[in-house]
Amino acid sequence: MVGWGASFMYVVGSFVHWRTLALLATIPGLLQVLLIFFIPESPRWLAKVGREKELEAALLCLRGDKADISDEAIEIKNHVESLKSSSRGGIVDIFQKKYVRPLLTVVGMMVLTNLGGINAFAYYSGAIFVSAGISSMVGLITLAATQTVVGILGTTIIDKLGRRPLLLVSSAGLCFSSFLTGVSFFLKDFNWWDQGSPILAFIGLLMYMGSYALGGGLPWLLVSELFPINVKGSAGSICNFMGNSTGWVVGYYFNLLTEWSSAGIFFTFSAFFCANFILIATMVPETKGRTLEEIQASITPSSD
């Protein structure tokens, strides 16, 4: 849905002034404020605050089957109680030794993804198309269609293939597409293959945004799966801060960096995604088909 929203704004932005686009973008935000009041509490949060009857009702609503509700409720309550006993209170919980590996892994993925230029590609796609000699309108509309199709594909296969394979394919695609875009600008700078360099840039941008739509949002899914309820909020806040900070730096300085070297900045993006691929291959566990308690027990030992 996030990818579809971005794609929709690409299409609309091809026809309206950017100030009009900014005003239109306030509408989804206002709708979110209204819909927040209808979000149900999670079973684990209900267990944390001791609302046991509501816990079982929430599980029944999620599962639709009374058969294993009681056993699952007991398992969740026991897990939450064990977390309470080891809790130090507040945000300091996330800095316990047992959470260092998952925190560094997810923060690393988010930082490397943002240093890999996702904000630059998202904010300046039209300008990149024009710089490469491609119509901005044609490029952005094609980009929107690509994001939508690949996003739908990703949602249909994530629970069949798993998180790690999608993350690896996505990161490899982002690495290669950044490199391909860099090659196109390198050829353009030296006036080599004038007819082919815009095609390479076009393919590179489509592949980049398509690869991001396939697995770019999975680190946020891992935040919810790798961290127990006592540190989930702190972990999410830290990941959000680190990711957005690096994303802001890249988005802000992108124009200056392209003046330094149009090809060089895309080759740099490619290097960051190469590092991200190595991080995923060596550090990210597979979480498909496992409960939150099983995942957390496998990566965070009970003792420090």
- Three-class SS state of 256: helix
| CATH domain 101-286 topology | Growth Hormone; Chain: A; (1.20.1250)
Residue 268 has pLDDT above 90, yes or no: yes
* pLDDT > 50? residue 303: no
Q: What are the backbone angles phi and psi of residue 165, rounded to the nearest 5°?
A: -60, -40
Average of pLDDT values for 84-92?
Answer: 65
Domain ranges of the chain: 40-86, 101-286
Give yes or no for a contact between 148 and 3, defined as CB atoms under 8 angstroms apart: yes
pTM of the shown model: 0.77
Q: Cα(204)–Cα(259) distance, rounded to whole angstroms?
A: 20
Run of H or E including 288 = none
> Which DSSP state fits 40?
P
User: Strand locations in 106-250, DSSP E?
Assistant: none
Give the position of tokens 């005003």.
Answer: 23
Residue 181 has pLDDT above 80, yes or no: yes
Q: Give the per-residue pLDDT at 302.
A: 53
Would you give the DSSP letter of residue 50?
A: T
* Residue 88, pLDDT above cutoff 70: no
Most confident among 118-132, 163-177, 253-267 (mean pLDDT)? 163-177
Question: What is the longest distance spanned by two Cα atoms in the chain?
Answer: 71
